Amino acid sequence: MDTMPESISIAEFRRAIERLPSDQPRSQPGVWYQTQKEHWLGWLHEYEGPGAYGRKPNQSRDAKFAYNHIVCPEMLLWLIQAAGVKQELVTAAQNAAATGTTMMQSAGAIRKQVSWSEVSAALGGKR
């Protein structure tokens, strides 16, 4: 399997996500996105500037940094599944997410099951 390098740019990460299949659209009051794919792409589009989250611009962050700082469990779960991470790891991540009492705890629990290197390897096969 082709693998992506451990360190890829945000632009390369966005291109990899653009090639992934979308999840089912859902309309939610007060939410600007309808899919987690759209959520990822919108979140990363503004990543090198302050965006909606007041980020510090010009920090030269890469995809690994972004993955390790996502607080939204739904974004992480969609990405690992859509990227083609092994099903047993997807299931472990889903189970781990349920153990958190906050979004941050759930996201951290997911990343303990599915590290960036697993996601990067799965995305590499999507190039």
118 domain residue, yes or no: yes
Longest Cα–Cα distance in the chain:
41
> Where does the pLDDT of residue 46 fall: very low under 50, low under 70, confident under 90, or very high at 90 and above?
confident
- Asked if the model's pLDDT at residue 50 lies above 90, the reply is no
Q: What is the pTM of this model?
A: 0.85
**pLDDT value of position 127:** 45
Radius of gyration (C-alpha) of the chain in whole angstroms: 14
98 domain residue, yes or no: yes
**pLDDT value of position 116:** 96
Alpha-carbon gap, residue 98 to 73, rounded angstroms: 10
28 domain residue, yes or no: no
What's the domain count of the chain?
1
- Cβ atoms of 89 and 118 within 8 Å: the answer is yes
Domain span at 80:
10-22+33-124
Cα-flanking dihedrals φ and ψ of residue 87, to 5°? -55, -35
